[in-house]
Amino acid sequence: MHQQIGLFFGSFNPIHNGHLIIASSILEQAGLSKVWFVVTPQNPFKPSKSLLHEFDRYDMVKAAIADNSKLEVTDVEFHLPRPSYTIDTLEHLTAKFPEKEFKLIIGQDNLESFHKWKGPDLILDRYSLLVYPRPGAKENELMQHPRVKMINAPLIDISATFIRDLIQKQKSIRYLVPEVVEEIILRKGFYLS
């Protein structure tokens, strides 16, 4: 029996409680062994001033999930050619960990643009999608695909952009991010400039 791992890709800029609630819901409902947070590096073609360095984002994810042995963080994409495409990362992980079965966790809003991804048919051919609801996401024919499983997770409308805005305005982000993440952000002065 292969260990089933859900891969939750994101910039996690910063990781917030919405991410953790979704990961936890999917872990339980899809019967996964673990969820791996795949921190995506900065896209060299889309440099962004508001995107923290990948090592800082990785450290915040690591701190946020330290108390849950079923959640892990991976820096696999830091070591792959950039820009990183999901299919390449999936194939790299499958080759590296043949004893694990990887499933892709995505928001329902991503289904609309999924056909524009690199190798969408290949992804659906070899991997399952675990899809969580997103505010304002539309119905999509992919929802009927045999490799797509809709997960009943809470609709979370917390965005990292909203959190960064609050930090810039010197407002509290308590309850939006784990306490340990808030502490790192404040101590290091992240997102202030």
* Cβ-contact 17, 42 below 8 angstroms: no
Give the pLDDT score at 44.
Answer: 63
Asked whether 165 and 188 are in contact (CB, 8 A), the reply is no
SS3 call for 145: coil
Strand order in the sheet with 100-107: 71-74, 34-39, 3-10, 100-107, 128-132, 148-150
Asked if residue 172 is part of any domain, the answer here is: no
In a domain, 119, yes or no: yes
In a domain, 120, yes or no: yes
| CATH assignment at residue 26 | 3.40.50.620
CA 28 to chain centre: 17
Residue 111 lies in a domain: yes
Per-residue pLDDT of the chain (193 residues; tens, 9 = 90+): 789 999 999 999 999 999 999 999 999 999 999 999 999 998 766 677 889 999 999 999 999 999 999 999 999 999 999 888 999 999 999 999 999 999 999 999 999 999 999 999 999 999 999 999 988 899 999 999 999 999 999 988 899 999 999 999 999 999 999 999 999 999 999 999 7
**Within a domain: 184:** no
**Which tokens is 54 given?**
């990948």
Q: Does residue 50 form part of some domain?
A: yes
| Residue whose entry in the numeric block shows the structure tokens 């936890």 | 24
Domain hosting 122: range is 3-157
Does residue 97 lie in a domain region?
Answer: yes
Q: How many domains does the chain have?
A: 1
Q: What whole-number distance in Å separates Cα of residue 15 and Cα of residue 10? A: 9
Would you say residue 92 lies in a domain? yes
Whether 56 contacts 72, CB under 8 Å: no
